[in-house]
Structures are given as structure tokens and as C-alpha cells.
Structure 1
Amino acid sequence: MPAATQAQALPASGQANTVRKHLVYFRDKTGTPFTVSQPQAFLSARAVQRRTRQNIAVQPRDLPVTPAYVTQLKAVPGATVWYTSRWFNAAVVSCDSATLRNLQALPFVRSATTLNRTAAAGSAPVRPRSFEEALDPALERTQANPVYGTAYKQALTIGAVAMHNAGFRGEGMQIAVFDDGFPGVNQSAPFASLRNEGRVADTYNFVERTSDVYRIASHGTNTLSTMAANQTGVFIGTAPKATYRLYLTEQTSAENPIEEVNWLLAAERADSAGVDIISSSLGYYDFEIAYANYSYADLNGRTAISSRAATVAARVGMLVVNSAGNSGRNPGPSLLAPSDADSVIAVGAVDSLRNYAAFSSKGPSADGRIKPNLAAQGVRAAVVNIAGQAVRSDGTSFSCPVLAGMAACFWQANPRLTAQEVISVLQRSASQATSPDNLLGYGIPNAVAAYALANPGAPLSAGRPQAVVGQLFVYPNPMKNEELSLEVSEALRGKALHVRFYDARGALVAEQKLPATTAAVLRLQPGPLAKGMYTCDVTAGDTTRRTARFVKQ
């Protein structure tokens, strides 16, 4: 849902003793016990590995805030510290205006932004523009597929079905979903494999500071289903074997800047956990208080809290996929933050015939960049509701995760690529690659074409993938017993290999040294492994290194 604000304190209104939330910015990180040389103290091993694979250095912005500053904030009477932000070097504090003045007087505090206000009594607050039209229970049975159910066409259009047939269903990939609630995901049949296989790695409700995300509202259930639902003949999403982290960031009762800060906090939590992809069907533009609204000039990727957060998320190696918005019927550019960020995939919507959806928000960004970047089906998109039923709905809220799930499978198949390279290849594969516009950007991507671009001379094939130069494959994936084979590319043949196996936390669980050979397939012996996700890391000498992810069932 749209919301927005600028990074400044809002004018005072209402009672002086009204308690509100504020983002309190610190001047520095002086005295922090953390260092960039020891990131394992504040980042998971998986997060460090993601940076290492993409040659991304840990920077001071990644360091947690100075603990002594937080202690002093908590010591101010009337102040409650809810959260801290590494990237913004700030804290979310709940207090009244008098207490806020005391906080701002502290020598280490730079400034403060008020995050939640309500419209004055009797005024008509700006209501959020819905990302989707009402669910339609009338399914087009003729469009259903015996395997994918009604989700078939939207997956087929972007090449996700072909990725699945080639053995890439998102195994080993982690996707964080930001939304307003996920009721039914913990109970209904289409999500049974997600639960039974332990692929919900984390849940957190940033609105209430609890782990309960299975309530509040159902938009998150709908968006998640387009990727994660996995019930043969009913609904199969675009990444049915990925692992998910479910974050409730939206406060449905009102539109306020606190929701953008929740987006920021969720992105930092996803980063710390080592998430690969963020799928966010959220947007910010209008607030309860009109003077806090964004203008088009603000949609330059550098102003909105959520856009600034999305930019950092991209800089640390996560692939950020965000809905462009549903304001396309408005005259002129109609993007919502954070889709204006420069390093994210802003997703527009098309219908099943690949035509532009009139509601899909238009670009460019305020600084003239092509937006949206890509598009997928968002008109009568197939989704799962809280009762576990396949229904249809409209909105870029659904084209976004449909595409994000495909991107997870594509990145699984091409783990050597950086997040920004994934964006580039997907854009080059798309239907308007040579003539992008501000309705659909580079157009509708195709995973098969993208794979061919990333692997010249080795097209995607059904069944066990082919080994190619620069690529590492292990199979079967998922691994069911203790049998695992390594299909060796030319770059690794004739060299002694050192194979290491890491679990999802980044801990070394097994290793094996293999003598030099010209064989194309080698038998690996990781030994008995517990169920879960693993990384196979292969090095040859000092310069050649390849990794592949696999799942042990």
C-alpha cells in the first residue's frame, strides 16, 4: 500500500503529550565495538558468503549502531526504543514531543523524523490506493493445467515452467516477502510442503514486535502464493521449493511513514540472515497527513525512506523486486516508492495476452530512468486465498512475486552471477529489450532466453543440466540419500579440487579433496547430512572457485 514521507520532523499537531514513533538519527558510530574486519559478529555466515560471492565489501554502514547511544536513549524518561537501524544509523523511539526534545538535545543525536500521525478529527484522510481489485472466485477452468492448476499461464509466459523442468525450482534460494499478513499459510493445503519441509525460515511482525504474521490481513498470503504454493493440480508457484522469510511490515489501520521504516528494518533483518531476494508488493506515496506525501520529484531513488533502504539492500547483494504500483490510470508518471530505486526491479503488469495493463504504474523515475524495469502477468493473476482456494486477482502486487520466483530459479541455475548481473540478463532477455519504454520497461522476461544469454552455447535442457564453462552443478538436487555427483566444467578439469560443504548457517560440515582428473563427472562423499540447505564450494588452486547450492531431503 502506498505511503511516503521526507526525512524531516513533521509539524507539531494535537496534544503535546501524545506518544508517537520517531526515527532518531545518530551523528556517528563512535565507540562501537563492531568492526568491518569481523562481520561474523553481526552478520550470519550466509550473509557474509553472499557478499563474498559478489565481491562486496562490508562497510561502516553495515555496523550496528553504537550500543552506548541506545543505552542513553533508553535512560531518558518517557522514551521507549523499539528498533535500531544499522544502515540509517538510527533508532525507532516511541515518546511524546517533550521527551523528543530531550532526545534531540543529546550530543550524539543528529536529527529526528516523526513517523506516525493521524489526520485531525473531522478531516478526510487520504486512503491508500489498493494494489489489487477484489478477488474473483470464478476460475477459468479451461486455462488450468493438470500440474500447475490455474497458475500455469503466468509461470509459462516468463519461462518459469521450463526452469522447473530443467531442475530449478528455487532449492537453496531464500526469499524475504514483505507484506501485511499471511493468514492461512500456516494451515492450508497449498502451503503444506512449505511447512512440512521447514522452508519458512523466519517470521516477524514489525508492527507489533512479535513473530506472529499469520493474521492482520491476507494480501501477503496472496502474494506469497504466486511463488511458494505447491499443490499439484491446484496451484504451483514460480519458486515452489525456495525457502521463505515472512515479514509483516504494513499497518493496515493507517498510512504513515512508520511503514517505510518497517520496510527498512525488514530489509536489514533479511540482509543479516543472508537472504537472496526481497519480494515487496508494497508502495508508498500518500499518507494520512497530506503534507507528508511525496511529489513526483521525490521519486528519484534518493528521497523516500523505502527507496533509500532498497538501494542499500541492492548494494549489499540482494535482488530487490518491487511492484511498480497500480496508479497507471493517473495522468503522467505514477510510480510508487521504492520502485523508483535505481538498482531494483520495478515490476509492471500485463494480461494473459501480454498486453499492458491500464492500471500498471508508469515511469520514468523523476531523474529520467526507465521504469518499470520488467513486467509479468498481473491481470486476473492466479493467487491462493486464506482458505487455500485458487482464485484470481488484479495488480502489480502479483506480477511482482510471479517474477521474483522465476528470478530465484534463474539465479539458482546461475549462482556465479551477481544480483545486478541477474537484473541485466533478465532485461536483455525481455520482449522489449531493444526498445524499452515507460509502460513495461524492457518488457516481459524469459528465463530460457536469459539462461542462453548467461550460458552461450549451452541452452537450458530438461532433466539434469549440462555443465558449462564457469558453472558448477551437483545432482541429484534435492539430494535424497548420501549420493551426490559433481558435473565438472572445463575450467575445473585436470586440476586437484578441494570440495567443502557448508550448511545454511555457513558452518563447514564436510570436506573432500579430489585428485586431478579429466572426468566430466565425479562422485562426492559429504557423508550423512541432516535435512536442509547446503552450499558445495569447489576450489582449484588459488584462482578458480565455484559454488552450487543443493537441498538434502
Structure 2
Amino acid sequence: MVFSLAKSLAVVLAAGLLNVLAVAPAVAQGTVRRHLVYFRDKAGTPFSVAQPQAFLSARSVARRTRQGIAVLPRDLPVNPAYVTQVRGVSGRPEVLYTSRWFNAAVVSCDSATLARITALPAVRSAATLNRSFRSVSPTLPPEQVAPAAARGTVATRAKYGMAYRQNEQIGALAMHDAGFRGEGMQIAVFDAGFPGVNQIPALQPLYQEQRLVSTRNFVDGGRDVYQRSSHGTNCLSAMAGNQEGFYIGSAPKATFHLCLTEDVNSEHPIEEANWLAAAEYADSVGVDIISSSLGYTTFDAPSVSYTYADMNGKTAISSRAATIAARVGILVVSAAGNEGANPWRYISAPADADSIISVGAVDSLGIRASFSSYGPTSDGRVKPTLAAMGRAAAVLAPNGTAFRGNGTSYACPILAGMVAGFWQANPTLTAQQVIAALRNTASQSTAPNASLGYGIPNFVKAYNALNPGTPLDTTDGRAASGEELGLFPNPIGDGLLTLALPAELRGKPLSVRVLDARGAVVGRQQLAASTATTAPLKLGRLAKGTYLCEVSAGSVRRTVKFVQQ
């Protein structure tokens, strides 16, 4: 449906943010649609790159300065005189917002009015963003996965609740223990709605500590985002959840901006224009990271859908916007897409954008989820960039309960939260240096592929590579001496197995747990203390699949992956 902004809405941060201009509703002489109107230039603008404080916040300017990024003419707001000319066209067109980066405006009007707008000397061209409107319908619940029947009871697992494994897998537990929980980092979340966020107990610290600093609704206008789809609530919780003993996300102390950009009741390029608007808003307020669990490939008729050839980072509106966001120093984290088992198969926009992190999905054992979209981009760049847990990932529902769901949508914020902590721990890095550090130390760094890109990153590995003089202790399954926990034969059938023990597990009573791909404990065994380098293990017959064997002695825990044939 078409939304008309209230007359009382004001321009935020002068003309620098994506300006929401207050006008009366259009008088429709035909079907009213939304259009992206491009201007020819920024000639005569009253703004200057020498005075960015007139259209960018101090935090936005500081982010650029810290990374050696200049304010460029693309950052200048649209010439207000051009906007006035559009508003003055007969038919009373409604200018919803303007785009600095695209030098354009999103205008709501009928086709006759649009023809008069495109005849203006200041206008270069126009493209229609939506072709039809649907009445609001109930949102389908997210895909849920039944919880595992049994779970571990060690202290850290009890502290993090169902979010334990997804944090552990990328080193976020060690990150938190080292004192990096996202403090001082600002994350903008782009999604389809955030109902319940202002009521969920695990998210109340956001309000109590004043770490939810802004909300914007780019679909309906205004600031109410606690509505529509619960997808945004799920994704935010994966980072911001902070209720010890129940659920802790990957960035429980970060500061957030919530942007509602997606209309789940239809699929048209207007939603990509909303993404663009939100990205420019995020830039203007000084956001460090964008977490976007949205993707665009196929639109409702008669809007023209993308093809795989369009996944080149230069065609889709959202991809072009994401690339510019990266150019101004924002670290963009985007879900790769859930098309891996579908005819489309490949990543979606804006995951094809250059210089961003596109996130694929794995299960708790690091095995690629079948739905996770494949790369590369159509111009041959490695995608996805990295991967995190998106199969049976734990998130929160609007009523505050925790459940497990599937999707790169969940892998994206889980990883984005770790990115925030990593950047916090290494504040002198640029956004692109952060991406390089995580990519260069990820599980497939030496052999990236079209399934998971450079693989699963780990905070400790990346941190230690950058800080060799002050390394953190690793808990990723590798002993401090460089020895690994081993298990053979692998793959296994029936019969006796043998554990190869690193030095730090010898001479101590050992507790052994075996977990399946969903994180359920399917086997336990206690081993007496021994100085031997190996230990026998009898598990019995397991169902075919991939498993994780976890061996612990006090606070020391090591893991090894194996396959049951």
C-alpha cells in the first residue's frame, strides 16, 4: 500500500540524511507508484565537501577520518532546488526521501505526473520501483527446528543457553572472556520488522543502558519499527541478546540502530531503494557495521527480476548501495541467501557487492547447510566471503522464547556481532583490514571455494595473527603446543576407537561427549587419568553422519570432528 508521510515530519540532520520531506498526499489521476528519479548533477548545491558537518554527524566524519577516507561530491545532498522543482510539478508528487549517493529522489506519483517530472531540465531519468500493491497480510512464522533432546551442562553452556555453540564456533566466547562484547561499536540492522524487541526480557538491557539509539521505518515512514515481520527480531537477538543463564548473543554490549526496510507483503525494487535509504542514514549517524539479512533476486510481476548475470555487484540497487557504504568506511555484513538447493542456486543482492562480508551458513559442526547459496559472483569474485552457524541457530521470538531456525539470515548477525567485537579489539584497523584479517585466518583461507568462501572465521586466530606479542589462549580445539586432539580411524564404522591426546589432556581424568550436527549429546564416556598419548574410546553404533567429539579436563576442552559411515 502507499504510505503518505505526516505533515509534521521534519528533516533530520539538515539535508545530510535521506531527507523525508513533508508534503500533502498526491492527488492521483492514475495509479500512484513509487519511482527513483535521477538528477543530472549537483551543480549549485549549497553544500560543500569542506563542511561535511552540515550533512554528516561528527561520528560519521570521524569514521572517515580514522580510515583515511575523504568526503567526496557523492556524499553531498541532492540540490534542494531540484527537489523543490519536483515538488512544484502539477499532480502534487510526494518526495519520500532523497539519495546523496545516487543523486536521486524516491517520488510517489502517477504516470502522467512522472512524465512531467522527467521533462524537467534537472532530471536525467527515472525508474519505477513498484508496480502493484498488496494489502497487509499475516506474516508467516519463521522456519523453526525442534530443540535437541539433550544438552551439555558445563557452566559456559548454561550461561549462554541455546546460543552457546554458535558463539563458540567463531570464537565469540573467548572474545567475550577477553573483554570485547561490542562496547562502543554501533550496528545498524536492516530488516522486515522488530515486533517484541521493546518487551523481550533478554533485550531490555538495550533500553536500560541506552544502547538502542535510533529506529527508522523506511516502508511506512516514521520511527515505529516494532511491527510487521518478526524476522528482524530474530536477527537482532542473535547479536543483542543479553540474559545470562538464558541467552547471550555475539555482541551483547553493542549499540544498535533498527531500520525497517523490507515489506514482506510484496517484492519490488522499492525495497532496495529503502535499503539504500537506510544505508545513507546509517552513514550519516556514524554507524560502524551494517547487518542485513535481506536478499533480492526475483520480483513480483511486472517488475523485472534479476538474472545471475546481474549478480556482479554493479547492477542491483542494494548492491551498488552496499558497495558505496563500504567505500565510506562502513563494514557491511550481508546474508548470502538461501537458494543453494533451489533453481536460482546462487547468492542474492546485495551479497554480490564488492568489499563486504557475505555470509554463508553451516551447522554446529561446520558442515555447509544445504540451503546456503553458492558463489561466485557472475564476474568471478569469491562469494560467500565467510560462514557462520545458520542451521539450527538459536534466536529469540517476539514473545521472548528461544527457538532454533535455519537460514543465512541468522548466520549473518551471529557473525556481525563477532565482527563488532573484533573491530573493538583492534580499533586502528580500517573496515577492509578487518575483513582481510578474518578472511586470512578463516578455516578455508588457503583454498576458498564457492560453497563457504574463505570458511568459518575465529576471533582468537584472527586476533593472535594481528597481535603475536600478546596472544589470547585458544579454545578452538588446538593445544597451546600446536598438538591437536585426534581420533582414528576416521571415518569410522563399529568397534574400538582411539583418541590421540595432546599434552595438556594427559595425566588427567577426561570427560568425553559426542555431539551430532544439531548439537545434541548422543554419547558420553569418562576416562581415567593416564600419561599415555592415546586412549581407547567405545561409542557403539551411531547413525550415519558427521559428529563432534569433545574431550575436557577441567577448564581445558578440545574437539575433533569425525564421520560415521
Indicate whether the TM-score tops 0.5.
Answer: yes
Alignment match, 1:86: 100
**Which of the residues 310, 333, 341 maps onto 1:329?**
341
> Contact 2:191–2:260 at 8 Å: present in 1 too?
yes
Change (3 A) 1:103 1:407: same
Instruction: Report the alpha carbon displacement of residue 133 of structure 1 after superposing the two structures with TM.
Output: 5.5
**CA distance in structure 1 between the aligned counterparts of 2:302 and 2:336, rounded to whole angstroms:** 22
Please show how residues 46-125 of structure 1 align to structure 2 within 5 Å.
46-78=59-91, 79-118=93-132
CA distance in 1, matches of 2:348, 2:378: 11
Q: Which letter maps to 1:34?
A: F
Question: What is the rounded CA distance, in whole Å, between the counterparts of 2:80 and 2:168 in structure 1?
Answer: 50
Q: Report the Cα offset of residue 364 of structure 1.
A: 0.5
Quote the Cα distance in structure 2 between the aligned partners of 1:190 and 1:95. Answer: 43
Q: Who wins on radius of gyration, i.e. which is larger?
A: 2
Alpha-carbon shift at residue 457 of structure 1 (Å): 2.3
Q: Determine helix, strand or coil for the equivalent of 1:362.
A: coil
- Aligned pair partner of 2:199 in 160, 184, 187: 187
3-state secondary structure, aligned to 1:363: coil
For the structure 1 residues 81 and 306, does the alpha-carbon distance in structure 2 shift closer, same or farther, using more than 3 Å as the test? Answer: same
The alignment status of 1:42 with 2:87, answered yes or no, reads no
Counterpart pick for 2:382 among 370, 384, 397? 370
User: Contact 2:55–2:77 at 8 Å: present in 1 too?
Assistant: yes
Q: How does 1:444-523 map to 2 (within 5 A)?
A: 444-460=456-472
2:38 equivalent to 1:25? yes
Q: Deviations over 1:175-234 (max 9, x none)?
A: 000001111110110101111101001001001111000011100000000000100111
Aligned equivalents of 1:412, 1:247: Cα separation in 2: 23
1:244 is aligned, of 256, 281, 288, to 256
Deviation by residue 1:234-278 (Cα, 9 ceiling, x = unmatched): 100000000000000001211010000000000000000000000
Match among 161, 172, 194 for residue 184 of structure 2: 172
Contact 1:139 1:391 in 2 (8 A): no
Runs of 4+ in 1 over 4 A off after TM superposition: none
Q: What SS does the corresponding residue of 1:292 show, helix, strand or coil? A: coil
TM-score by length of structure 1 reads 0.77
Mapped to 1, the partners of 2:76 and 2:64 lie a distance apart of 15
* Cα offset, 1:454, TM superposition: 1.6
Distance 1:55 1:110 in 2: 32
Q: How far does the alpha carbon of each residue in 1:73-102 deviate from its partner, in whole angstroms, 9 at most, with x for none?
A: 111122111000000000010000000000
Asked whether 1:435 is paired with 2:447, we answer yes
Q: Secondary structure at 1:22's aligned position in 2? A: strand
The residue that corresponds to 1:422 in the other structure is 434
Q: What is the CA–CA distance in structure 1 between the aligned matches of 2:236 and 2:152, rounded to whole Å?
A: 21
1:138 equivalent in structure 2: 147
Q: Which residue of 2 aligns with 1:341?
A: 353
Listed as ranges, the gaps of 5+ residues in structure 2 are 1-27, 475-565
Q: CA deviation at 1:413?
A: 0.3
Match of 2:180, SS? Answer: coil
Among 118, 125, 150, which residue is 2:162 paired with?
150
Would the alpha carbon gap of residues 251 and 119 (structure 1) be closer, same or farther in structure 2, given more than 3 Å must change?
closer
* Secondary structure at the counterpart of residue 223 of structure 1: helix
CA distance in 1, matches of 2:472, 2:331: 22
CA displacement, residues 45-75 of structure 1 (integer Å, 9 cap, x when unaligned): 0000000010000000000000001111111
Q: Give distance in 1, aligned partners of 2:187 and 2:77.
A: 23
Q: In the aligned structure 2, how far is the partner of 1:92 from the partner of 1:54?
A: 31
SS at match of 1:177: strand
Greater mean alpha carbon deviation, residues 403-412 or residues 70-79? 70-79
Letter in 1 for 2:221: R
Q: Work out the CA distance in 2 between the residues paired with 1:56 and 1:458.
A: 30
Hey, what's the Cα distance between the residues in 1 that align with 2:225 and 2:42?
A: 33
Q: Is the 8 A contact 2:460 2:473 kept in 1?
A: no
- The AA in structure 2 aligned to 1:251 is D
Distance 1:328 1:226 in 2: 23
Asked whether the 8 Å contact 2:200–2:398 carries over to 1, the reply is yes
Unmatched tracts of structure 1, length 5 or more? 1-14, 121-126, 463-553
What is the identity, as a one-letter code, of the residue corresponding to 1:55?
Answer: G
> For the Cα contact (< 8 Å) 2:390–2:407, is it kept in 1?
yes
Match of 2:421 in 1: 409
Instruction: Select the structure with the greater relative contact order (CA < 8 A; seq sep ≥ 6).
Output: 1
8 Å Cα contact 1:166-1:461 kept in structure 2:
no
Give the aligned residue type for 1:317: G
> Which residue of structure 1 aligns with residue 301 of structure 2?
289
Correspondence for 2:552? none
1:204 lines up with 2:216 in the alignment:
yes
CA distance in 2, matches of 1:461, 1:139: 30
CA distance in 2, matches of 1:408, 1:185: 20
Task: Determine the structure 1 residue equivalent to 2:314.
Answer: 302
AA at the equivalent of 1:134 = E
8 Å Cα contact 2:95-2:107 kept in structure 1: yes
What does residue 559 of structure 2 align with?
Answer: none
Are 1:387 and 2:412 counterparts? no
Contact 1:380–1:392 (CA under 8 A) maintained in structure 2: yes
Residues 284-318 of structure 1 deviation map (CA, whole Å, 9 limit, x = unaligned): 01111155100000000000000000000000000
Structure 1 Cα separation of the partners of residues 214 and 441 of structure 2: 33
Letter paired with 1:276: D
Question: What's the counterpart of residue 477 of structure 1?
Answer: none
C-alpha contact (below 8 Å) 1:177/1:280 kept by paired residues: yes
- Aligned-pair identity in percent equals 63
Equivalent pairs, count: 440
Are the equivalent residues in 1 in contact too, given 2:96–2:105 (CA < 8 A)?
yes
Structure 2 distance, partners of 1:140, 1:62, is: 53
Q: How far apart, CA to CA, are the structure 2 residues paired with 1:143 and 1:343?
A: 39
CA, structure 1 residues 461+201, in 2 after alignment: closer, same or farther (shift >3 Å)?
farther
Tell me, yes or no, if the aligned pair for 2:130 and 2:303 is still in contact at 8 Å.
no
Q: Distance in 1 between matches of 2:103 and 2:345?
A: 32
User: Residue type of the partner of 1:277?
Assistant: I
- Quick one: distance in 2 between partners of 1:136 and 1:358? 15
The reply to whether residue 258 of structure 1 matches residue 270 of structure 2 is: yes
Q: Using the alignment, how far apart are the partners of 1:179 and 1:163 within structure 2?
A: 26
1:322 and 1:400 in contact (8 A); partners too? yes
Task: Tell me what 2:499 maps to.
Answer: none
Using the size of structure 2 for normalisation, the TM-score is 0.76
